[in-house]
Amino acid sequence: MGYLHPSEAVGTQAVMTFARSLTRMVLLLGVLMIPLSVKAASINAADWQSYRTAFLDASGRIIDTGNNGISHSEGQGYGMWLAVLADDQANFELIWSFTKTELLVRDDGLAAWKWDPQSTPHVSDINNATDGDILIAQALALAARQWGRQDLADAGRAIAKAVLDKAVVERGGRTLLLPAASGFADSDRPDGPVVNPSYYIFEAFPLLNELSPSPLWGKLAADGLVAINGFAFGPRKLPADWVSVRTKPRPADGFAQEFGYNSVRIPLYLVRGAAGSPDLYTRMAAGMSLEDGNIATFDLKSGAAKDVLSDAGYRIMPALLACKASKKPIPQELRTYASTLYYPSTLHLLALSFVAQANQECL
């Protein structure tokens, strides 16, 4: 796993030649729907080891250390994605095994979102979280491509189709991503539909379209980007975590009217998905940043900071935006990974992987 050591280099060219030949063969036979690719790891092996030590249980569950030690579909999807980026097939299998055994227990192909070690049964909320489903399906698609695994492609296809069937709706000429199969539609609440802008994982949509082709994926990406551009609430012009789009967009009823922990990852998804404009990047970076270099969650009405977020995994979000908007290098102190809590650590590794893959100008 991880980077190729010199002792392993002998025979690498032969392996690549074999992989290309095998790809041609299976495509001719119509067996493999996602082509093989030989790809170097984009996550440092020591960083991935640190992450696994901190958050990966021996059973294959990713532990949310900032949320009472629960696991959830989001975390499992992130863990699978990171394992692909680290080129670690063994730990991918471990995380995937827990995910399909413990969370894929609904009857519609989506994952239950919450697994609590202190509850009996452990699945304490059977509803899904659509971002978790998308992350799992995306990771399966990437793994199928990277390791030539038709079984993973088939599993990802089933989840992608379920997302289309249960969580993608067209209303008023817009294609919307519902945060869950139940609870957020116009029939579920007076201010519905309600969306969560941080659930739009833009780089995933083309991959899911390969798995389960539909024009809805392209519409979802286009309409989602338009929506995020328009979700500019309060003096800081930031999106809310939960937005009613029944008429004119506004923060949804029953939720804190804040740019919160959900929304701090929007920059990661915009930049990784090559979505959005320099103007959007600049506005969001300014809106989420404090003068001392930290970021914060914000009350949208007043613009006042609520929780100050000093972890490098949070502070790298506006740095990514600044890099892509104006080629400003990421500060040196944000380029080194150290495991802290599950959520910022995950964001940090995904950001560093993005820079390592194709954005050396950020360094």
Q: Does the structure show a pLDDT above 50 at 109? A: yes
Four-point Cα dihedral 119, 122, 127, 128, nearest 10: 130
Band (pLDDT 50/70/90 cuts) for residue 25 is very low
Query: For residue 234, what are its two tokens?
Result: 């309060």
Query: For residue 150, what are its two tokens?
Result: 């038709």
- Report the catalytic residues: 74, 131
Report, as an integer, the average pLDDT of 305-327: 97
The pLDDT value given to residue 360: 79
Share of the chain above pLDDT 70, in %: 89
The pLDDT value given to residue 273: 97
**pLDDT, tens only, 233-264:** 999 999 999 999 999 999 999 999 999 999 99
Query: For residue 308, what are its two tokens?
Result: 């100050």
What integer best gives the mean pLDDT of the chain?
90
Q: Does the structure show a pLDDT above 60 at 70? A: yes
Pairing between strand 174-177 and 168-171? antiparallel
Band (pLDDT 50/70/90 cuts) for residue 363 is confident
Band (pLDDT 50/70/90 cuts) for residue 40 is low
The pLDDT value given to residue 359: 77
How far CA 75 is from CA of 24, 41, 81, 268, in Å, comes to: 35, 20, 10, 16
**pLDDT, tens only, 133-156:** 999 999 999 999 999 999 999 999
Band (pLDDT 50/70/90 cuts) for residue 39 is low
- Helix then strand then coil, in percent of the chain rounded to 5, is 50, 10, 40
Amino acid at site 250: R
Report, as an integer, the average pLDDT of 64-86: 98
